């Protein structure tokens, strides 16, 4: 049974901000997204900046409210609609589904000690579990050592650490309440390549030790293939391809996925209306029908879905 299921999620934003902005011009940040994350599974959402992957992730913890669609959290034999959660229920859900941000320098309060950063917002739920202040400090020290730092670092300030070390502190903060699902939003994109590997290996160790699930947000498809079990590739708010990381690395079928493996480019205007495939203006394989017909997101092989009429038509196993 999955930990989280997302069905037909939609989110759009007014294109122009401010009180006097014109109303009626929107950007469709997320357009009919559906996927699931299994227990102890790492699911990746990958795409260029602006494709909607972070907006999707933030809707999962209600930082943004979805315009349409359903998010369901599954715990044991129970299933709850995340959109219907109120106050205390939402707080408890956010203990089970924790968010790690891209930039730890902005998400860690520089005026707090590392210990205060870790326990900020966690004291109440942990004390409800019978953990007093002494035990809380011990727990914080253990988790800090688990992420590769030292117990003595609890008294330091975040500014005394490197970028990679600050990201370890962010991960430790998320782990303190023992979540079931960790949302990692571009957690290695701002780090040096050597440090990226260290953080990825740390997350792999945490996943193995804690039997955790992950939603891994990234723009680098090769990095996602290293860490994730399954990957959904996003473009202009839509899933274009979904498959196991191994299959995707071996044989990416959608032209956009192939582009991500080979290079990085900017996303075109997401507000522009598109009757056909949203990737058609950039696709080297686009035919006339690609500009006219919007392709469905179909399973062409077991566990491998693609939104591309041209590619699906040229895959033997896709045809009866």
CA-to-CA separations, 164 to 185, 186, 190, 194, 198, in angstroms, rounded: 15, 13, 9, 10, 9
44 pLDDT higher than 50: yes
3-state secondary structure of 230: strand
Q: If we measure between CA atoms, which residue out of 302, 309, 305 comes closest to residue 283?
A: 309
Residue in this structure with the two tokens 């079990």, named with its chain if needed: 229
Q: How do the domains of the chain map onto residue ranges?
A: 2-253
The string over 48-78, giving b where at least 16 C-beta atoms fall within 10 Å of a residue's C-beta and e elsewhere, is: bebbbbbbbbbbbbbebebeebebbbbeeee
Residue 267 confidence class, pLDDT cut points 50, 70, 90: very low
CATH ID of 2-253, from 3.40.50.880, 3.40.50.1970, 3.40.50.300, 3.40.50.2300: 3.40.50.300
DSSP structural state of residue 28: E
The rounded percent of the chain whose pLDDT value lies above 70 is 90
Q: How confident is the model at residue 320 (pLDDT cuts 50, 70, 90)?
A: very low
Residue 241, pLDDT > 90, answer yes
Chain segment 115-163, per-residue pLDDT in tens: 999 988 777 777 778 788 888 899 999 999 999 999 999 999 998 999 8
125-161 burial by CB neighbour count: b if 16+ within 10 A, else e? ebeeeeeeeeebeebbbebbebbbbeeebbebbbeeb
Condensed to tens digits (0 to 9), the pLDDT of residues 51-60 reads 999 999 999 9
Please give the backbone phi and psi of residue 65, each rounded to the nearest 5 degrees, phi first: -95, 135
- Answer whether residue 247 shows pLDDT above 90: yes
Res 263: pLDDT: 64
Confidence of residue 30 (pLDDT cuts 50, 70, 90): very high
Tens-place pLDDT, residues 99-112: 998 887 777 888 89
**Cβ(169)–Cβ(202) below 8 Å:** no
Q: Are strands 26-38 and 213-218 parallel, antiparallel or unpaired?
A: unpaired
Contact at 8 Å (CB) between 38 and 228? Answer: no
Rounded distance between C-alpha atoms, residue 318 and residue 102, angstroms:
38
Question: pLDDT confidence of 284, banded at 50, 70, 90?
Answer: confident
- Mean pLDDT, the chain, whole residue set: 88
């Amino acid at each position: 049974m999955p930990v989280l299921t997302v069905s037909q999620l939609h989110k759009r934003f007014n294109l122009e901000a401010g009180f006097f902005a014109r109303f009626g011009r929107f950007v469709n940040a997320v357009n009919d997204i559906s996927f699931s994350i299994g227990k102890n599974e790492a699911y990746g959402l990958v795409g260029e900046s602006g494709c909607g992957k972070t907006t999707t992730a933030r809707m999962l913890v209600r930082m943004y409210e979805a315009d349409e669609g359903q998010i369901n959290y599954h715990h044991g034999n129970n299933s709850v609609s995340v959109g219907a959660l109120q106050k205390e229920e939402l707080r408890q859900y956010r203990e089970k589904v924790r968010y790690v941000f891209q930039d730890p320098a902005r998400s860690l309060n520089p005026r707090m000690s590392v210990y205060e950063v870790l326990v900020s917002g966690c004291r109440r739920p942990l004390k409800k579990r019978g953990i007093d202040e002494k035990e809380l400090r011990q727990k914080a020290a253990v988790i800090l050592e688990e992420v590769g730092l030292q117990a003595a670092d609890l008294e330091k300030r975040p500014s005394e650490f490197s970028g990679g070390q600050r990201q370890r502190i962010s991960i430790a903060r998320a782990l303190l309440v023992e979540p079931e699902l960790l949302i990692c939003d571009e957690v290695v994109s701002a780090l040096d390549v050597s440090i990226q590997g260290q953080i990825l290996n740390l997350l792999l160790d945490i996943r193995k030790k804690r039997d955790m699930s992950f939603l891994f947000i990234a723009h680098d498809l090769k990095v996602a293939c290293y860490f994730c079990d399954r990957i959904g590739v996003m473009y202009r708010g839509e899933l274009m391809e979904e498959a196991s990381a191994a299959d995707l690395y071996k044989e990416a079928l959608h032209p956009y996925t192939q582009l991500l493996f080979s290079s990085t480019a900017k996303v075109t205007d997401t507000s522009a209306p598109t009757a056909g495939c949203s990737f058609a203006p950039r696709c080297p394989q686009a035919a006339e029908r690609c500009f006219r017909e919007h392709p469905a997101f179909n399973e062409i092989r077991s566990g491998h879905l693609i939104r591309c009429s041209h590619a699906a038509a040229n895959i033997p196993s896709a045809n009866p």
